[in-house]
Amino acid sequence: MAQVPHTAPRDEVRVHVAGYEGVLSARKAAREMAVKLGFTLADTTRVTTAVSEVARNIARFAWSGVVVLRAEHSHGTPALTVEAIDSGPGIADPSLVVEDGYGTADSLGLGLSSARRLMDEFSVVSRAGDGTTVKMRKSA
């Protein structure tokens, strides 16, 4: 029988995002989970900022969605994974939204590109008319 590497149970928090209150709730939950995992102050700030950016995009462009935070421990290293999921209008070309300066007419276009830089792993899956899922991960 193959041996499976030991992985501690995952803690999961789901935050409904519909407006500014949801953005604040997602930020708070991310900060609390990062602290619980033993992240440094700098990495806690990075995670909190990245979660704020993706939650703000949900509230602004999709009007509602969910941010799922998972605390993981793999081979003794804590990590935080984030999924921001919405069923909004989607993005025609997801590769463009992670480039600095690409944004709506009334933004600087730094939200998702900043989140990408702040996290260790980052991906966007979306199609116009079919919602968006952003996945991010940061190890302590």
CATH architecture of 12-139: 2-Layer Sandwich (3.30)
| End-to-end Cα spacing for the chain | 32
Reference 102, options 58, 44, 93, 19; nearest CA is: 93
Model pTM?
Answer: 0.84
- Domain limits of the chain? 12-139
Q: What pLDDT, on a 0 to 100 scale, did the predictor assign at position 7?
A: 46
Q: Is 2 helix (H, G, I), strand (E, B) or coil?
A: coil
Parallel/antiparallel/unpaired status of strands 121-126 and 132-139: antiparallel
With beta carbons less than 8 A apart as the criterion, state whether 78 and 8 touch: no
pLDDT in tens, 12-33: 999 999 999 999 999 999 999 9
User: Quick check: 93 pLDDT over 90?
Assistant: no
